[in-house]
Structure 1
């Protein structure tokens, strides 16, 4: 198998605020060239915290263990100045929040083009011209005029699309997207999906709770539940043949699958405190063995953390 661009190795995250809850627990995951990997899971599963840990963007209260390697180099071993060179230039991050991550004091065009100035040595005029081109890809409308305006004049959905344009502007080797469709209507979600699908050969990791969007853009899917990575497979394989009981329950609850909620099933974020398999209190196949945490089993390349397959 080809070498991974990004290797997440046994990463755990907790916050030093008196809480015993793990936000991320012993997650290992590799990202390969041209991967379009979506990490899915409900709110509170730890997927966004995992993404932030890759670029060391967590607050000082975060206690992080494990390692993250980019082309074999530990990102956790780099100095702050070295990390500044990685962020935006080599690995680009697009935050969630309907574009609230934009600076209200800088014009939209300058912000979209700023990575080209900071990491590619482009002058301001050329960078803003390129920003207008990128904004046109997302059909914001009146792009040259919008480039001169400030974020408060744009709707939340427009700001979010401008942030995505900013993320791809410097042609970073790896793109990290955190809920890129949050706050967007169905038509705009389709537009974002189409744009990401046009990024041929681009390597990206996208966290989302939108299962339909993930199916549209991903070639691989990872599933997180209660701070744990519980399943990883090719997208078509996972949607057709989910192995983990949680994944099966989650996909069965999709509208196009008939909203088949299993009796007694309900997501609960306090499952991070459960010992062993985090889903065992809700699993119809639970046994005494599930009181221990199962290892990640490999079923013909389909990885699943469940004792049924070990």
Structure 2
């Protein structure tokens, strides 16, 4: 397989006063070049932590083990300065929460053109022109004017579009898009999705899409991994997973869509500080048996490329 990114046995935890938060447990992923790979799950399941660990953008109290290979190079063992040089140029990031990700002291234009000047050696004039074209493609009104303004002068949707432009401005080979459509109205969400599609088709950019929006994932992604309580519980081609979901949790997610009647999954996700000994979905699973609470299931391949973490697979 021609993978641009491979994650092997990744574990991420955080030390807190009340215990250790096990945010990501034994994650293994391989993302093909020029594909869109979706990492989906509920808020707090660990998908953003997994993505940010690739670029070492985690708090100081993070404890990380495992390996991350980018273009066959083990970047998890690189010095911090070497990883910093990968950011923006090789691996771009559309961060979540634009209100926090954008620098309130810098004009929007200054921030958008920075990766173009740093990583693509554009002149100030050329980078400004490219930034305007990019923001126009994202349907930002009056991009010349908005680039002269500060983040606090923009609406939430406008900030998200500026942040998207900032993430792709360095023309990275791999783009990590962390909830890029969160909080956007239907029209703007569609435009962001269209930009991501164009990046894949025209520039062959590989995209790791972090989202809880199943409709966006179904439309955009070639392959998917579903996370629950820090674990990957199902993985495979997007088409196969949506047509034939196997894990009870992912089935429940699909049933919860408005088009399927908004059927809620009963119960709550377990605490990542006090995880159960066995299956992490045990308390909410309609198929659970007594042994599920005691034995943690391994993720296994059920058909070519389709993996599921469940002891009782149909």
Structural RMSD (CA): 1.6
Q: Matched residue of 1:16: which SS?
A: strand
Number of the residue aligned with 1:284: 286
Distance across 1 between alignment mates of 2:248 and 2:108:
45
Aligned length: 307
Number of the residue aligned with 2:90: 90
| Conservation of the 8 A alpha-carbon contact between 1:176 and 1:206 | yes
Number of the residue aligned with 1:113: 113
Distance across 2 between alignment mates of 1:267 and 1:238:
23
Query: CA offset at residue 184 of structure 1?
Result: 1.0
Distance across 2 between alignment mates of 1:180 and 1:101:
13
Aligned ranges 1:1-310 → 2 under 5 Å:
1-2=1-2, 4-18=3-17, 19-199=19-199, 200=201, 201-261=204-264, 265-270=266-271, 273-290=275-292, 291-300=294-303, 301-309=305-313
Distance across 2 between alignment mates of 1:121 and 1:236:
40
With 240-249 and 214-223 compared, the bigger mean Cα shift is at 214-223
| Conservation of the 8 A alpha-carbon contact between 1:297 and 1:309 | no
| Conservation of the 8 A alpha-carbon contact between 2:41 and 2:226 | yes
Q: Matched residue of 2:93: which SS?
A: strand
Query: CA offset at residue 170 of structure 1?
Result: 1.5
Query: CA offset at residue 72 of structure 1?
Result: 1.8
What TM-score do you get using the length of structure 2 for normalisation? Answer: 0.93
Query: CA offset at residue 137 of structure 1?
Result: 0.7
Distance across 1 between alignment mates of 2:51 and 2:123:
31
What TM-score do you get using the length of structure 1 for normalisation? Answer: 0.95
Which portions of structure 1, spanning 4 or more consecutive aligned residues, are displaced by more than 3 angstroms? none
Distance across 2 between alignment mates of 1:183 and 1:98:
10
Distance across 2 between alignment mates of 1:99 and 1:32:
32
| Conservation of the 8 A alpha-carbon contact between 2:178 and 2:209 | yes
* 1:66-114, Cα deviation, whole Å (9 max, x unpaired): 1111112122211122112101110001111144311112221221111
Runs (5+) with no aligned partner, structure 2:
none
Distance across 1 between alignment mates of 2:124 and 2:277:
54
Distance across 1 between alignment mates of 2:263 and 2:76:
43
Runs (5+) with no aligned partner, structure 1:
none
Query: CA offset at residue 274 of structure 1?
Result: 1.1
